[in-house]
Amino acid sequence: MERINNYAYDFAISYAGEDLNIAKEIKQSISEKSGRYNVFLASDEQSTLVGTDGEKFFEDLFKNSKQVIVLFSENYKRKDWPRFEFDVIQKRDEKNRFIPIKLDEVQIYGLPSTILYMSFSNNPEEIAEIAINKLIEFERDNGIQRETELQNNIRTLKNSKGALDRAYQLVIDDRERTPLDDIDFPDGSFQKSYSIINIEDISYSKISRIEVKINIPANLNKETVEYNIKHCNASVFNEHKPEALAIHVYSDQASNFLGFDDRYNVASSNFALYGEWGRAEESFAYNMPVSKFGYTIKYEDSYFNNDIKIDSGQDIAKKLVYELFEEKISQFIRDSQDTKTRDVLKKFEKIKPVEVKKMLNNLKKKKLIKKVGSKYNWHWEIANK
């Protein structure tokens, strides 16, 4: 298991096989709210599980997941393996043991009657929202810092090393792909209200990738926006069958509109293998079926709330530069002895002093660095040193 903040997964879902579809809905809803969360679902990890010691694997899994979602049902209660999983889960810390979801009227004996369950009633999005809020609370209480956008971009670049080489090798091998099936249009009583502004083929090698910009009216709710994204996604995907399809949603009628050449002001969606744009080569090379594809949808909150300011592409770039230099300043303080502000200013003399001082104050607010010493004779140190 790859470890993130000393944990293997953000979420693990424990369920009976008969309830797999509900587990998938919850996982999909978490991914659509933010692609930054990794969710373990046994049905997606069969290649990992085959040949392993199942009991040890799941003991480690539930110990090393930040949150565990348990789908209680009569199926869960009567089957041996879910009961084994639950025995393991009950050994977790009492304050952060599990998120209980009841799928039917099952009674789980041995559990305190004071435990509050959430009932499932075709509400995977609500469950995802609660689960994510509990995760955020857990991370905050335990001083866990989630990966920043900059760190995510750097990690993506590192993980993508060799992507061009792999794509080139697919050409050398003259690899062909099993044709992908069509996907269904979304259900619902919503109206299609988008118009396509631009479709761009950004493929290289044999790997087909497409980016689409669409325009929608102002003041739509999230369910309607999601419907329009998935409707457009089905229409474009079924025509072109790309390995990865990105849709950027704009609204030129909304107060936060910055232009079609700036960043999206409503939402952005990826449809690819497990919802991850960067796995397009893997999808092609292993002939992965479209049933393994999923969505990752990010919403721009300022479209739904006029009180929130949207950051332009330039603003975001500036923030990323700030984060980069803050990281360098932290490293300098970590590697130096008795680092004073003047030392930092000298080291980063090409940056305006006022900006360096802003970065130091920001790092202090984030509790990443601290002042050590007396009022008139102090220096900077890493906070968790």
The full set of domains in the chain, from first to last, is 9-141 (3.40.50.10140), 149-304 (3.10.310), 313-382 (1.10.10.10)
Backbone φ, ψ for residue 118 (5° rounding): -110, 135
pLDDT at 215 over 60: yes
How many other CB atoms are found less than 10 A from the CB of residue 42? 21
Predicted local distance difference test score (pLDDT) of residue 19? 92
pLDDT at 54 over 80: no
Dihedral in degrees, nearest 10, Cα atoms 229, 232, 233, 237: 180
Mean pLDDT of all residues in the chain? 85
Of the candidates 277, 242, 260, the one whose C-alpha atom is nearest the C-alpha of residue 196 is 260
Cα–Cα dist 151/130, whole Å: 26
Predicted local distance difference test score (pLDDT) of residue 2? 45
Backbone φ, ψ for residue 220 (5° rounding): -85, 150
Of the candidates 182, 122, 132, the one whose C-alpha atom is nearest the C-alpha of residue 299 is 132
For the segment 89-114, what is each residue's pLDDT rounded down to a tens digit?
988 887 788 999 999 888 877 666 55
| Its pTM surpasses 0.85 | no
Cα–Cα dist 2/83, whole Å: 26
For the segment 245-257, what is each residue's pLDDT rounded down to a tens digit?
999 999 999 999 9
Predicted local distance difference test score (pLDDT) of residue 340? 94
Of the candidates 177, 173, 214, the one whose C-alpha atom is nearest the C-alpha of residue 193 is 214
Cα–Cα dist 198/40, whole Å: 36
Q: For 242-246, 285-289, 296-300, 314-318, which range has the lowest pLDDT when averaged over its residues? A: 314-318
Predicted local distance difference test score (pLDDT) of residue 150? 56
Mapped onto helix, strand or coil, the DSSP state of residue 209 is strand
Mean pLDDT of the region 354-369: 90
Alpha carbons within 13 angstroms on the beta-carbon side of residue 211 total 7
Predicted local distance difference test score (pLDDT) of residue 170? 62
Predicted local distance difference test score (pLDDT) of residue 194? 97
The secondary structure of residue 118, as a DSSP letter, is E
Predicted local distance difference test score (pLDDT) of residue 121? 84
Q: Which residue has the higher pLDDT, 366 or 152?
A: 366
Predicted local distance difference test score (pLDDT) of residue 191? 87
Q: Which residue has the higher pLDDT, 9 or 112?
A: 9
Concatenating the DSSP letter of every residue in 143-183 gives TPPPPPHHHHHHHHHHHTTTHHHHHHHHHHTT---PPPPP-
pLDDT at 279 over 90: no
Cα–Cα dist 29/275, whole Å: 12
Predicted local distance difference test score (pLDDT) of residue 1? 45
Mapped onto helix, strand or coil, the DSSP state of residue 350 is coil
Burial of 129 (C-beta count, 10 Å sphere; 0-12/13-18/19+): middle
pLDDT at 304 over 90: yes
Contacts for 371 with CB less than 8 Å, ≥ 6 apart: 364, 378, 379, 380
Cα–Cα dist 89/76, whole Å: 14
Pair 214, 248: CB distance under 8 Å: yes
Mapped onto helix, strand or coil, the DSSP state of residue 120 is coil
Contacts for 357 with CB less than 8 Å, ≥ 6 apart: 341
Mean pLDDT of the region 308-330: 81
Cα–Cα dist 85/75, whole Å: 14
For the segment 76-91, what is each residue's pLDDT rounded down to a tens digit?
988 888 888 988 998 8
Mean pLDDT of the region 188-198: 92
Predicted local distance difference test score (pLDDT) of residue 70? 93
pLDDT at 218 over 90: yes
> CA triplet 178, 183, 188: central angle to 5 degrees?
175
Mean pLDDT of the region 177-193: 91
- Under the banding of pLDDT at 50, 70 and 90, the label for residue 306 is confident
Kindly state the percentage of the chain with pLDDT values over 90.
41
